[in-house]
Each structure stands twice: as structure tokens, then as C-alpha cells.
Amino acid sequence: MKNEKSEILRARAKALARESDSRQAMVAALEVIEFGLAHERYAIEAAYVREVQPLEDLTPLPGTPPFVAGIVNVRGRILPVIDMKKFFDLPEPGITDTHKILLVHTAEMEFGILADTVVGVRSIPMDAIQSSLPTLTGLREEYLKGVTAERLVILDAARILADRRIVVHQEVEI
């Protein structure tokens, strides 16, 4: 009887140890929003994405850099929209009604990122993320968090949101 109880307790201990391992595996993963830009696949950490909106009523702003697509009104909040294809100097197929806006934010900054398509949310194990690819150069490499084996480019949202080059400080003469 005592031997049987010991076996039951050992089995329970092993089961609990396996659950702990699975919890650690979940912690060692990065949850991202996957989206498309110019026939390439990108992702950004889901923690920085407030919501995804359809592209509606984009108002262009004259006198801004080419990467500023315009502004949108999201439930009373006026937010700038950044076209990362222009910012990263990628080919542009043009804006259609299938485009989406990823509203990204930190405590100091909030804006929309224009995406050709939004694939969805996924979890990527941290050990599946490589540092870089030789084909990613210039600004894309600067904002790179990593790349997966399936060539999903993970952008560093914190670095993008903190970069002062995105903030437009220009005065336009009228």
C-alpha cells in the first residue's frame, strides 16, 4: 500500500514538472502580429499593437515626408499613419481598400503603420529567431529584432516608436 502511494506521488510530481516545462516554453516565446508589406512578411510585437483597423478616410498631409501617408480619425483620436514601405524604401503596389492600419503605441508615442495585409497573431519561440539576414540592409536592418527560418522579419517596435526620425518637425510656408 505504501509503495502504491509513493508511485502515485512520483507520477504526480512528473506530471507537474512537465507542466512547468510547458509554461517555460510559453514564456520563451514572442507573440507577434504578422502582416505583409510589398510581398514580404513582417511581424511586430503584439504588446505594442493597440488594435488593427481597416484603412478608411485617410487624409493626406501636405508638406510631410513621403513616408507619412496621412492621418486618420480613430474614435475621436487623430493619429498619423506611417507607410513603412516608403520608410524602408520597398516597392509600392499602391494603396487599396484591403489595406489595414496597425495602431502601435508606447506611453510617449502612438501612430498607425500601414500594412498591405494582416495575417494574424502568432507565437514564435525565442530560439527560432535569428539575428539578421544579409539581404536586409539600411533602415530595415536598423529596426530589426530578428528573422525566422521561414523569412518572417520581426521588427523592433520599441525602437521604431522611440525613433525621432518618424516625428515630423517641419513648418510649411503658406
pLDDT digit string, tens, across residues 4-28 = 877 877 877 777 776 545 455 445 8
Average predicted confidence (pLDDT) for the chain = 82
Which of the four pLDDT bands, split at 50, 70 and 90, describes residue 70? very high
Domain boundary assignment for the chain: 29-162
Report the pLDDT averaged over residues 93-105. 79
What's the whole-model pTM score? Answer: 0.73
What lies within 8 Å, CB to CB, of 96 at 6+ separation is: none
Q: For residue 62, is pLDDT > 70?
A: yes
- Apex CA 161: angle with CA 85 and CA 128, to 5°? 75
The SS3 of residue 86 is: helix
pLDDT at 53: 93
The CATH code for residues 29-162 is 2.40.50.180
Q: For residue 91, is pLDDT > 80?
A: no
* Cell numbers placing 118: 494582416
